Amino acid sequence: MATATAPAKRKRELPWPITFYRSAVGKKWVMAISGVVGLGFVVVHMIGNLKLYLSREEINLYGEALREFPKHLLPRTVFLWITRVVLVLALAVHVHAAASLTRMNARARPRNQQYQSPRDYQVANYASRTMRWTGIIVLLFIGFHLLDLTWGGGGADFERGDAYNNLVRSFDRPLVAAVYVVANLALGVHLFHGVWSMFQSLGVNNPRINKARKRFAQSVAAIIVIGNISFPIAVQAGWVDEACVGTEHGEPCEPSGLKF
């Protein structure tokens, strides 16, 4: 007697975002997308901070504008908080993917499978080989930077809303200024490889743009590093001074800003 066999029940598929993220190629794609989010933030942050060179009023009003954006369309700080949540999620997923891929790579080339002879890299550069270390430096720095200039626990006199003086008081300490410079150099090295690598991970590859991809990465890294390290250097060099010591926030204040 012939017995009809029921078709084997297909294994229940996981939702596609999970299946996708479980693969290394998917994780790299997620790292690229979250990297783009982070890159966008870093660029806007650097450009916004250039207002330090205009005046205390300009940069403090800029800070206030970020809280009010987009003015009457949303209640105050709602957009800011949405942005913060997106940034934190992007950072979290970027770090998780990096940690998980690092473990995968360590399994593929464990200690007992390392080359015993001196082995020289042919094309891998300093940036590509130090991604995890520059990444960790930047991660630690983000913690310190938030503590220092967002929450006000960095040791310097902190007044909520007075971004200008908070920044100047913080950067007046040589050690802190040095920390900012070092961390931003690490960020630059991270971006140098990351921005180029992002194109490969997303599969953006076309003979017409392939040369431009590396140049774009180099330019982005250079612009970010030069912009960001100029702030602590300017404060240390005395080009930007603390303004209106003793006056309360919002009171009339002498024009301050770039002085030579």
Residue keyed to tokens 């802190």: 176
Residue keyed to tokens 């790292």: 31
Binding pattern for the stretch 140-159 against other proteins, x by CB under 8 A and - elsewhere = --------------------
Burial of 215 (0-12, 13-18, 19+ CB in 10 A): exposed
State which of positions 13-32 bind other proteins (CB under 8 A): 13, 16, 19-20, 23-29
CA distances from 168 to 22, 56, 102 (A): 45, 10, 38
Please tell me the count of residues contacting other proteins according to CB under 8 A: 44
Which range in 39-47, 67-75, 102-110, 173-181 contacts other proteins by CB under 8 A? 102-110
Return the SS3 of 12: coil
- The reply on whether position 201 binds other proteins by CB under 8 A is yes
Least separation in angstroms between residue 131's CB and other proteins is 7
**What CA–CA distance (Å, rounded) separates 222 from 200?**
21
- The reply on whether position 208 binds other proteins by CB under 8 A is no
C-beta closer to other proteins: residue 28 or 51: 28
Least separation in angstroms between residue 94's CB and other proteins is 14
- The reply on whether position 131 binds other proteins by CB under 8 A is yes
For 184, the token pair is 């931003």
Residue keyed to tokens 């180099």: 218
- The reply on whether position 110 binds other proteins by CB under 8 A is yes
- The reply on whether position 200 binds other proteins by CB under 8 A is yes
- The reply on whether position 202 binds other proteins by CB under 8 A is yes
State which of positions 212-251 bind other proteins (CB under 8 A): none
CA distances from 30 to 3, 49, 236 (A): 48, 28, 39
Contact yes or no for 244/60 (Cβ under 8 A): no
Contact yes or no for 176/233 (Cβ under 8 A): no
- The reply on whether position 108 binds other proteins by CB under 8 A is yes
C-beta closer to other proteins: residue 165 or 201: 201
**Neighbour count for residue 130 (Cβ, 10 Å):** 16
Least separation in angstroms between residue 3's CB and other proteins is 28
Hey, what amino acid is at 193? H
- The reply on whether position 260 binds other proteins by CB under 8 A is no
Residue 148 DSSP one-character state: I
Orientation angle between helical segments 78-108 and 131-146, nearest 10 degrees = 150
Binding pattern for the stretch 158-197 against other proteins, x by CB under 8 A and - elsewhere = -----------------------------------x--xx
C-beta closer to other proteins: residue 10 or 72: 10
- The reply on whether position 117 binds other proteins by CB under 8 A is yes
For 87, the token pair is 């940034």
Contact positions vs other proteins (CB under 8 A): 13, 16, 19-20, 23-29, 101, 104-105, 107-110, 113-124, 128-129, 131, 193, 196-197, 199-205, 210
